[in-house]
């Protein structure tokens, strides 16, 4: 009962950051968590108060249990948050794309670790500074609250996702990604199959097979392993609920 791939997990999955990969070309994806970009004062404030830091692919931005002193916004590239489970498996909390704000824990410690999925630039803002501004500027406080609220909603959807079948999970994931994508029907995946599997609570093999199935069923096309074209959105939507 899940004695499973501790070796595979530890040895293969979390090896040293491998070779470089071109930074994702996606310009400004619609964020899942971040304030929408045209929006507002929060974005401006963060740009004013923050510093942009560049990380190579596979770098750790923050670790689990570290004090949550900063708030982050992806400028370019991509970040995944994750947690290593007792049995060596990895559960991914979220994928953060350009425009997304992350590291917004309600406590004072990070509950997840985070690392880059590609060469990534991140805007870093001191939490205390942002809180100070929020104390003075209600619209900032409101935006921060809205962010937290959106995260809660996302977790709620996530819970609903995890009780569904593999096909539904993968289909939902693709639709979700496409909604964050600039081109509505083509999804450029910044993450590996292993990342997707750990996000959906499946194995890479099941993810791969499911994608093959969706392709055979003409719901999607997979021109390259990291690019997926949604061919039959209604059918994919239908697998959600």
List residues near DNA by CB under 7 A: 1-2, 4-5, 12, 15, 18-21, 165-167, 192-194, 201-209, 211-212, 222, 224-226
Tokens of 96: 């953060």
How many angstroms separate the CA atoms of 93 and 199, rounded?
A: 7
159 binds, among its own copies, DNA, none (CB under 5 to 8 A by kind): its own copies
Query: Edge-to-edge strand order for the sheet containing 227-230?
Result: 186-188, 227-230, 220-224
Binding mask 87-116 for its own copies (x = CB under 8 A): x-x-x-x------------xx---x-----
Rule CB under 8 A: choose which of 100, 143, 168, 176 binds its own copies: 168
Query: Measured from the CB of residue 226, what is the shortest distance to DNA in angstroms?
Result: 6
Instruction: Examine residue 209 and tell whether it contacts its own copies (CB under 8 A).
Output: no
Q: Find out whether 50 and 42 touch, Cβ atoms under 8 Å.
A: no
Instruction: Examine residue 69 and tell whether it contacts its own copies (CB under 8 A).
Output: no
Query: Measured from the CB of residue 92, what is the shortest distance to its own copies in angstroms?
Result: 10
Query: Measured from the CB of residue 101, what is the shortest distance to DNA in angstroms?
Result: 26
Q: Is 79 helix (H, G, I), strand (E, B) or coil?
A: strand
85 binds, among its own copies, DNA, none (CB under 5 to 8 A by kind): its own copies
Helix (H) or strand (E) holding 123: strand 120-126
Rule CB under 8 A: choose which of 30, 164, 209, 233 binds its own copies: 164
Rule CB under 8 A: choose which of 30, 127, 158, 226 binds its own copies: 158
Q: Which residues pair with 186 in a beta bridge?
A: 229
- Give the list of residues 6+ apart from residue 144 with CB closer than 8 angstroms, or none: 42, 104, 130, 134
Tokens of 234: 């209604």
DSSP 134: H
Instruction: Examine residue 234 and tell whether it contacts its own copies (CB under 8 A).
Output: no
138 binds, among DNA, its own copies, none (CB under 5 to 8 A by kind): none
Kindly tell me the sign of the dihedral angle through the C-alpha atoms of 181, 187, 190, 191.
positive
How many angstroms separate the CA atoms of 45 and 182, rounded?
A: 25
Select 1 or 48, whichever has its Cβ closest to DNA: 1
């Amino acid at each position: 009962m899940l004695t499973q791939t501790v070796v595979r997990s530890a040895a293969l999955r979390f090896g040293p950051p491998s070779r470089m990969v071109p930074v994702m070309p996606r310009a400004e994806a619609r964020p899942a968590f971040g304030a929408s970009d045209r929006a507002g004062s929060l974005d401006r404030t963060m740009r004013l108060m923050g510093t942009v830091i560049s990380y190579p692919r596979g770098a750790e931005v923050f670790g689990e249990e570290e004090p949550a002193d900063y708030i982050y916004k992806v400028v370019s590239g991509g970040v995944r948050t994750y947690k290593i489970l007792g049995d060596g498996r990895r559960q991914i909390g979220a994928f953060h794309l350009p425009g997304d704000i992350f590291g917004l824990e309600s406590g004072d410690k990070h509950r997840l670790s985070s690392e880059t999925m590609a060469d990534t630039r991140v805007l870093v803002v001191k939490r205390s500074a942002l809180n100070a501004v929020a104390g003075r500027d209600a619209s900032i406080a409101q935006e921060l609250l809205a962010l937290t609220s959106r995260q809660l909603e996302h977790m709620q959807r996530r819970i609903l996702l995890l009780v569904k079948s593999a096909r539904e999970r993968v289909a939902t994931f693709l639709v979700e990604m496409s909604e964050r994508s600039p081109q509505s029907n083509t999804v450029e995946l910044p993450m590996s199959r292993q990342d997707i599997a750990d996000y959906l609570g499946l194995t890479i093999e099941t993810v791969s097979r499911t994608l093959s199935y969706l392709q055979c069923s003409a719901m999607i096309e997979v021109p390259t392993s990291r690019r997926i074209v949604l061919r039959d959105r209604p059918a994919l939507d239908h697998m959600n609920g």
